[in-house]
Amino acid sequence: MNTRDKIMDVALNMFSERGYEAVSIRDICGEVGIKESTLYYHFKNKKDILDSLIEKFRSHIDGLLTHVDEITEMPPQKKGKKHDDISLKMVDSYMIDSYLFDPFCNLMLRLMMIEQFHNEELRVLYEKTLFTDPYEIQMSVFKKLATTGVFPEKEIEWIVKEIHSYMTMLTFKYLLNGELTKERKKAYQKEVHDFMTRRFIA
Amino acid sequence: MNTRDKIMDVALNMFSERGYEAVSIRDICGEVGIKESTLYYHFKNKKDILDSLIEKFRSHIDGLLTHVDEITEMPPQKKGKKHDDISLKMVDSYMIDSYLFDPFCNLMLRLMMIEQFHNEELRVLYEKTLFTDPYEIQMSVFKKLATTGVFPEKEIEWIVKEIHSYMTMLTFKYLLNGELTKERKKAYQKEVHDFMTRRFIA
Amino acid sequence: MNTRDKIMDVALNMFSERGYEAVSIRDICGEVGIKESTLYYHFKNKKDILDSLIEKFRSHIDGLLTHVDEITEMPPQKKGKKHDDISLKMVDSYMIDSYLFDPFCNLMLRLMMIEQFHNEELRVLYEKTLFTDPYEIQMSVFKKLATTGVFPEKEIEWIVKEIHSYMTMLTFKYLLNGELTKERKKAYQKEVHDFMTRRFIA
Amino acid sequence: MNTRDKIMDVALNMFSERGYEAVSIRDICGEVGIKESTLYYHFKNKKDILDSLIEKFRSHIDGLLTHVDEITEMPPQKKGKKHDDISLKMVDSYMIDSYLFDPFCNLMLRLMMIEQFHNEELRVLYEKTLFTDPYEIQMSVFKKLATTGVFPEKEIEWIVKEIHSYMTMLTFKYLLNGELTKERKKAYQKEVHDFMTRRFIA
DNA sequence: GATGAATGAGTGTTCATTCAT
DNA sequence: GATGAATGAACACTCATTCAT
């Protein structure tokens, strides 16, 4: 990892734990192992580090959304196929691994959680990535499933709301609370699985 | 309001928006209208302000929990009475008004959200007040309702999980996001009402 | 002890250990057990405490000198009497007990030692009480002894210089160094005794 | 002189006059001609300046002691040579010029005198450099002289005690009292010379 | 790419002191 | 006699940043 990336990495770890303002250039440089003056070769100023992190997060998210779009716009599976095949796999595997469980994304979510109350740009991004986008993704997935006749059209809205609220709550409870340990990840996955099983299988 | 209370009030407003570390003693005193040295007559240091706020919050919460206990331990209503009488009123009126919508509590929740990642004391309090306590309160309410025969015992767990996750998600979405405006409160109440109506009435 | 005396007592203890400037009104009041504002009922300001201590010391010293004068101006003892009768007793008992070993005087000497480098008033007092006065007292004692024929007049100067330098060195080494413990007092007394024995007896 | 050395120089001058605590970083920087923040580039905090001074003093003293050892371990002069040749020259010239009269050492001794009452590290150093070391140096010098037969072995202890106490008293009287002026140095040297002359010549 | 040296503004905190009660 | 509440000035120290090398 080159110096610039190391700075961003260290900065994100610190920002997401203590907040942007509470972290000093000294703190970052001390951890990276460079002098403070060196940091200014790589970044214009402190704000520039944060902006670069946000930019990186945005393109990461754009990649995810593009990927999800490709999946949901694929021609529908044959009728009668088990409903969870596509939807649950997508939700479970893709979004969880590359988004909620991804270290970079997870730290960015924490940072947004911390900074949202006095940074409008981050507040909007926070609302979008934690509430709006996941809801819309679920909706497009279930709408597609509806075309296969698995669910009646008019029930979709509430089904999605139920799933979305459950997963959102679990996200805050397990993934945006304390350190992101293996135990918390497993607890999250277990609760998601139990919910899905009861709701759609049992 | 005396000087000490004014300091706590101003400090909480600032801490909950920008985080404890990012707020300076100068900021607080400027807003309160006292000299910095005066603040140190009322509080022994910056941390002492935070500790006093936490202490105040704890006793506030203790009051709420005691009140809830009194309600749920009242002798059960006559059979057949509409289930929402006691439960929804309690949930809607009491917990919402005196907790989520209460300005002091709301700001404390925001502060806890911000500080939880590097303050273990606040992390524990955060988990308790946003996840553990609400779930347990709902459980005791619904267990009581179950004794009146309104709900079958074995369904209670999932009903409560459903309600709890829905309300938790709404709390993060509307009450712990941006400024706590009347519009957001109304949006929150409407979504709670819609959910309750669909789930228990329709 | 009344409040005023308690303040002076505590102040002297602290001044003599950490220096006048390094001791705060807060420190003193904390130890005395009064509020800072109360101190200003008893003393005009911080400097006033120091001035009062100096004044008290001056009159203490005046008392000592008067006492010594009375002794040295008493009619001479009969010829042939052992020379140490009057001189050593005086030196040993009186000056040591009421001056060097006296807690108040000892602390004042320490205070003067600390403050002499930037307080001309205390520097003069320091020089007088540690170098000039003791030398002159010894001189008047030995001059009196000379009249009894015990010492030849012309040897007196060097005898006194010898005694004075020895006792001064011991004072700095044992009484103005570390805490004034019983051990240090005893070590001081032993060395004085050994010196006197060797010089005048052996 | 570079900035770091200038800071140490100014700090020592101020510390030795007013005491460590009574001197502010502002005072030092004002005299050196730098901003306060600059000082923290060179020293990690105020204590660090003091520690650096102590360290410098220690190595200075180590140098002196090594030098003295070399002299006293030189093969003895031929018998009958005037006793003061080596000893008095050494005492007079070397220890006085490079220790008591040396500006850095003199200021350090004053600093130690001031700080000894509440700084155990400095108290120990103070006792060593003003009482223990000089006594031992004199002892090794006179023991060497004794081998040449100038002094009887059994008289050495008291001779050294006499010299040591006399020079110690003079040090406190002339060199550690008021400003270290040429007049005081001369007065000190004259009294040393008079004492030596009377004691060993006359 | 990186650093040594510097800075002005700001940090939390303590200082001696005042004054109405 | 003593205190609660306040203050302006000073305290040691950290901040993000600059710039010549």
How remote is the C-alpha of C38 from its chain's centroid? 32
CA–C1' distance D38–E12 (Å)?
Answer: 20
Give the pLDDT of residue C90: 59
CA(A18)–C1'(F17) in Å?
A: 22
Average pLDDT over residues C177-184: 94
How confident is the model at residue B174, as a pLDDT?
Answer: 96
Is there a contact between D164 and C169 if contact means CB atoms under 8 Å apart? yes
Cβ-based contacts of B168 with chain A (< 8 Å):
165, 168-169, 172-173
**Predicted model pTM:** 0.91
Write down the domain spans for chain A: 1-43, 53-201
Assess whether chains C and D touch, using the rule of 3 or more C-beta pairs within 8 angstroms: yes
> A83 falls in which pLDDT band (50, 70, 90)?
very low
Measure the CA–CA gap between C141 and C85, rounded to whole angstroms: 11
List the C58 CA – F8 C1' distance (angstroms). Answer: 36
pLDDT digits (tens, 9 = 90+) for C144-158: 877 777 778 888 899
Assess whether A27 (CB) lies less than 7 A from strand F: yes
C116 CB neighbours in chain D (<8 A) are 177-178
| Nucleotide nearest to D34 in CA–C1' terms | E6
Confidence (pLDDT) at A77: 54
CB-CB under 8 Å, C173 with D172: no
B near D: at least 3 beta-carbon pairs less than 8 Å apart? no
If you measure CA to CA, which chain B residue comes closest to A131? Answer: B173
Interval C33-63: pLDDT, tens: 999 999 999 999 999 999 999 999 999 999 9
- pLDDT value, residue C75: 63
* Mean pLDDT, residues D37-65: 96
- CB contact (8 A) between residue C177 and residue D110: no
- CA distance linking residue C165 with residue D199, whole number of Å: 14
d(CA C136, CA C147): 17
Distance CA B99, CA B63 (A): 11
The single-letter DSSP state of residue D154 is: G
List of chain A residues whose C-beta atoms are within 8 Å of the C-beta of residue B158: 198
Residue A52 pLDDT greater than 90, yes or no: yes
Tens digit of pLDDT at every position of chain B (202 positions): 999 999 999 999 999 999 999 999 999 999 999 999 999 999 999 999 999 999 999 999 999 888 888 877 766 555 555 544 555 566 667 788 889 999 999 999 999 999 999 999 999 999 999 999 999 988 888 888 777 777 778 888 999 999 999 999 999 999 999 999 999 999 999 999 899 888 877 6
CATH topology for B1-43 is Arc Repressor Mutant, subunit A (1.10.10)
**For A94-103, B105-114, D164-173, D188-197, which range has the lowest pLDDT when averaged over its residues?**
A94-103
Using the CA of A24, which nucleotide's C1' is the nearest one? F15
- The token pair at B178 is 């941006």
Cα nearest neighbour of B180 on chain A: A117
Distance from the Cα of B187 to chain A's closest Cα (Å) equals 15
Q: What is the pLDDT of residues B162-181, one digit of tens each?
A: 999 999 999 999 999 999 99
Nucleotide with the nearest C1' to A37 CA: E3
Contacts 24+ apart (CB under 8 A), B128-135: B129/B61, B130/A172, B130/B168, B130/B171, B131/A172, B131/A173, B131/B168, B133/B61, B133/B65, B134/B95, B134/B164, B134/B167, B134/B168, B135/B160, B135/B161, B135/B164
A46: nt with nearest C1' to CA: F16
Residues of B in contact with A172 (CB under 8 A): 130-131, 168, 172
- How close D77 comes to chain C (CA, Å)? 30
The pLDDT assigned to C202 comes to: 63
Measured between beta carbons, which residues in chain C are less than 8 angstroms from residue D118? 17-18
The pLDDT of residue B155 = 85
Give nucleotides in strand E with any atom < 7 A to a protein C-beta. 1-20
Portion of chain D with pLDDT greater than 70, in percent: 90
Which pLDDT score, from 0 to 100, does residue D95 have?
A: 81
Q: How far separated are the first and last CA of chain C, in Å rounded?
A: 48
